[in-house]
Amino acid sequence: MRARRYVWAEPEVQELLKKFVPATEEVHTLHRDQGPAGKHFRLVSEKGHYGKNPIDWTRQGIYALAPSGEFLASINSTNGGDVERMLKEALEAWEALPRNKRLLAGKPEEARERWAHLYPEDGMVLRVYTRDLPREKKMKDWREGAWNLDYAWFRKEEMWKFAPGGAVKGVRHEVPEEIVRRLARCHFVDNVRGQTEAFPEEAVEEASLTVTVESVKGDRVTVKYEGTVKIEQRGNWAVDDTGARAQTRGFRGKLLGRGKWSVQGKKFETLEIVSVGTRWGGTRYNFRNGDLEEAPLGYVLTLAGPGPEDRMTPAAIWQYGWGE
């Protein structure tokens, strides 16, 4: 997430990127993919900055390559200047590459994207932003302003549970508990500074969300959301390099928000829910070691847009129970 902030917003870097096709992908899936994408990526990554590491180690980073699979340059850095230099080296290598070595030899094979077919075209997709709330304990580095983003998917029949129960002020219903529990354990996680895992089902102690019709104006019905979540997991796991030991992690918080539903359109025009509460604990890769005590944390859930960048798969999609 530091690269988002410190690398790609740099004007010099953005200018250089115009000379490439800029692509993103999740490295674990790509590195292990047995289809044409994985085979092609490994041609490149094994010549890159982590290429000498054991095959099951991460290959995350930034790679420049020719469509043929010829390696041009690579780096794993969150420093804009370093990446700018790498991009210039890559363009020099591209110019030096004979034209007959730049492109794929034949017609590219077709590849299946692992989760794309599960995207809820007629359902609802929410961006889930996460950030620490202000507190007395200040960080003196990137952690102070850290935030993260995930996506929550809801199928059509699940989206309807967030919709008004009727176009009459005061009508109220509960979003089914299984939907709120999934939201809680998959998305009310502490990923502010880095990746973490979904909570197990048994960690959810409380998960409720009430939908109340607040106003009706023609076709538009405004609903108010109010809810509570409490999640706690206990067990043995590592939060750093020193190995597993007894840990607890969790979040307890309130939810509040509103949505504007189009009766004729049968969809939300707007929907936004804020949750604020208290988190504690950490996991192996969420950079909370040394910051495991209770502290305030917040989430904003808001409708995602229609663009390709908003079709990202939820980090814990396999926990949804939607199959593959």
Residues 144-203 that bind another protein (CB under 8 A): 145, 147-151, 191, 194-195
| C-alpha pair distances (Å), 228 with each of 34, 153, 196, 270, 294 | 43, 20, 22, 21, 18
- Are 214 and 258 within 8 A, CB to CB? yes
Distances in Å between the Cα of 60 and the Cα atoms of 14, 46, 48, 75, 97 are 20, 12, 10, 9, 25
Of the two residues 110 and 218, which places its CB atom closer to another protein in the complex?
110
Q: How far apart are CA 29 and CA 38, in angstroms?
A: 8
**Rule CB under 8 A: is residue 101 a binding residue for another protein?**
no
Paired tokens of 314 = 């939820």
> Is 142 near another protein (CB under 8 A)?
no
Which CB atom, from 53 or from 157, has the smaller least distance to another protein? Answer: 53
Number of residues that bind another protein (CB under 8 A): 89
* Residue ranges in 201-260 that form contacts with another protein under rule CB under 8 A: 252-257
Where does this chain touch another protein (CB under 8 A) — which range of 18-26, 166-174, 202-210, 235-243? Answer: 18-26
Q: Which residues contact 50 (CB under 8 A, 6 or more apart)?
A: 57, 58, 59, 60, 61, 76
What sign for the dihedral angle of Cα 152, 59, 191, 270? negative
User: Closest approach of Cβ 72 to another protein, in Å?
Assistant: 6
User: In the complex, what is the shortest distance from the CB of residue 92 to another protein, in angstroms, rounded to a whole number?
Assistant: 11
Binding flag, residue 324, another protein (CB under 8 A): no
Binding mask 260-299 for another protein (x = CB under 8 A): ------------x-xxxxx------x---------xx-xx
Return the residue of 42, 49, 90, 239 that touches another protein, per CB under 8 A.
90
